[in-house]
Amino acid sequence: MPFEFHTKRRIEFVDVDLAGFVHFSRFFIFMETAEHEFLRSLGTSVHTQIDGHEIGWPRLAASCEYLSPAGFEEVLDIQIVVMRKGRTSMTYDFVFRRESTLIAKGRISSICCTIDPLRGLKPMPIPDFLARKLQARPERLKKR
Amino acid sequence: MPFEFHTKRRIEFVDVDLAGFVHFSRFFIFMETAEHEFLRSLGTSVHTQIDGHEIGWPRLAASCEYLSPAGFEEVLDIQIVVMRKGRTSMTYDFVFRRESTLIAKGRISSICCTIDPLRGLKPMPIPDFLARKLQARPERLKKR
Amino acid sequence: MPFEFHTKRRIEFVDVDLAGFVHFSRFFIFMETAEHEFLRSLGTSVHTQIDGHEIGWPRLAASCEYLSPAGFEEVLDIQIVVMRKGRTSMTYDFVFRRESTLIAKGRISSICCTIDPLRGLKPMPIPDFLARKLQARPERLKKR
Amino acid sequence: MPFEFHTKRRIEFVDVDLAGFVHFSRFFIFMETAEHEFLRSLGTSVHTQIDGHEIGWPRLAASCEYLSPAGFEEVLDIQIVVMRKGRTSMTYDFVFRRESTLIAKGRISSICCTIDPLRGLKPMPIPDFLARKLQARPERLKKR
């Protein structure tokens, strides 16, 4: 069971703002896409159904620290680490690097929910098929 | 000198994701736009020049907690509060409400920089014309 | 029954690209939001249900000509005109101006559909409650 | 000298709207990114300088026809064809397919300009280093 994953992403023109650097909001999109790639690498998807109910992962919290700017056409390495696997929620940490330069560090916490068009979101335990595929990073490895 | 500002924003179709609620990344755009409206209300702009140098405000950190989902065409009230005014940096807090329902709370810290096409970003003291217009929320009012 | 509508929109930081002007893709978002404001002004919404079915308006075609650049914090006037009201489809024209300067002209054609999670999109006649509220611009007024 | 190029792109969560399909505005981003990949494949970039002037490619016109919806996590093949190479402008055509299904067809025309912070955009002949690398699709191959 993996607790981390790496992917790469090239900065697109639309990611870049007037000042010539990646807009701070785009890092949250990059984190989300990395999360989804991680789930695909495990043979599943963030967008699933269980017992006829659509499952979603609304965010509880999201944060990012920006350490160095990144520019158009640069390629970022994105590391994702499972920091916590709860009964209904997950926390992922992200580290963005351009070669050896630290660009940004982020964190996203999400809660597993059924999405009902009428009754809205209702928290549920993480489905077994997904919970079995993920583990949190062991404590002894949590320094970085 | 004001330390807070309110604005409103209607959720657009493009803000909403597959699950029918505002995508978590959009709150960072909403915060930024509220910040810029605040600066305009003070008679200035985030995009200024001083002594022939372009000034920008790259982000040091951004975070958001999501407390209740918001849907298409709903109108959010956005409160922005100056939490800290440093020599070169600013921290703003944001509260999103739909009538009496708390939707989200966010924070953004930025650093004042000159933007040089060749030498990149260089921190600088917040220009007087702007520093004079803003104050941090007094300590005695900081509970919320 | 109106066949045109005006709204205004201020250019946000996130609309602007590296070159300092509104990114060409943003005009399509501006058109869509103007369309939705028009429908709200008529007391309806683009996002409706009829007989328990969700109704959507997938796009058949979209186009834009760019005549003059627009920059950060500028306010654009957006005119929307109903060019054609068919049995199942609608065509809107858009004109973007900054005071007397023509910025862009666009067109969007959409088809009214029921959205079924299982069977996908299925074209349907424009519902009466909406069809009654809209008319196409009369031929004699079509020059511009 | 090539006159066409293929690339692939996986639909991200943020590309998809409330109805579950790629938002129509996203195809313009996909076209732009494919254009930039094409230029990189030729050893150049859309973002260049010549004689100390920054060069940009503001859009003259953009259009897209939507033929079949595309959903989250699907992979689209994007074909880009140089339809016209003028003295100062370029026109690209785009075809989006998911395996054998035609999803969309688009077109973008752009004009080569120098970008001056003070004097704005000024059209210029396409620089030789780029003009030498591109050719328009020969007439006899233009049927599709």
* pLDDT tens digits, C69-100: 999 999 999 999 999 999 999 999 999 999 99
Predicted local confidence at residue C117, as pLDDT: 67
Q: Name every chain D residue with its beta carbon within 8 A of the beta carbon of A72.
A: 47
Coil, strand or helix at D131: helix
Tell me the domain boundaries of chain C: 4-135
Asked whether the beta carbons of C20 and C72 are under 8 A apart, the reply is yes
At residue B80, the 3 state secondary structure works out as: strand
Whether residues C16 and A18 touch (CB distance < 8 A) is answered with yes
Nearest to D67 by CA among D27, D34, D36, D32: D27
Task: Flag whether residue B64 sits within 8 Å of chain A, measured between CB atoms.
Answer: yes
> Is D14 in Cβ contact with A29 (below 8 Å)?
yes
pLDDT at residue C142, as a whole number = 60
3-class secondary-structure state, position C87? coil
Given CB atoms, is B28 within the 8 Å cutoff of chain A? Answer: yes
Q: What is the pLDDT of residue B33?
A: 97
Q: Minimal CA–CA distance to C69: which of C23, C105, C26?
A: C23
pLDDT of residue C53: 82
Confirm or reject contact between A21 and chain B (CB < 8 A): yes
Q: Looking at residue B130, what is its pLDDT?
A: 87
**Which pLDDT band holds residue C143 (cuts at 50, 70, 90)?**
low
SS3 for C60? strand
Residue type, position B56, single letter: G
CA distance D132 to B29: 41
In this structure, chain D runs to a length of 144
Per-residue model confidence as pLDDT tens digits over B44-85: 888 888 877 888 899 999 999 999 999 999 999 999 999 999
Are A14 and C17 inside 8 Å of each other by CB? yes
What digits encode the pLDDT tens for the residues C11-64? 999 999 988 899 999 999 999 999 999 999 988 888 888 877 888 899 999 999
pLDDT over threshold 80, residue C139: no
More confident residue, C115 or B31: B31
Q: What is the CATH number of domain A4-139?
A: 3.10.129.10
pLDDT at B1: 73
| Residue in B16, B25, B72, B111 to test binding to A, most A beta-carbons within 10 Å | B25
> Is the CB of C68 inside 8 Å of chain B's CB atoms?
no
d(CA B132, CA D54): 36
Spell out, as residue ranges, where chain A has pLDDT lower than 70.
117-118, 141-144
Q: Is the dihedral of CA C121, B74, C15, D33 positive or negative?
A: negative
Tens-digit pLDDT string for chain B (144 aa): 789 999 999 999 999 998 889 999 999 999 999 999 999 998 888 888 887 788 889 999 999 999 999 999 999 999 999 999 999 999 999 999 999 999 999 999 999 999 876 677 899 999 988 888 888 888 776 655
pLDDT tens per residue across all 144 residues of chain D: 789 999 999 999 999 998 889 999 999 999 999 999 999 998 888 888 887 788 889 999 999 999 999 999 999 999 999 999 999 999 999 999 999 999 999 999 999 999 876 677 899 999 988 888 888 888 776 655
Which residue in B25, B28, B33 has the most chain C C-beta atoms within 10 A of its own C-beta, making it the best mutation to test that interface?
B33
**CATH class of residue range C4-135:** alpha beta
What would the 3-class secondary structure string for C4-38 be? Answer: EEEEEEECCHHHECCCCEECCCHHHHHHHHHHHHH
Report the pLDDT value the prediction gives residue D142, as an integer from 0 to 100: 60
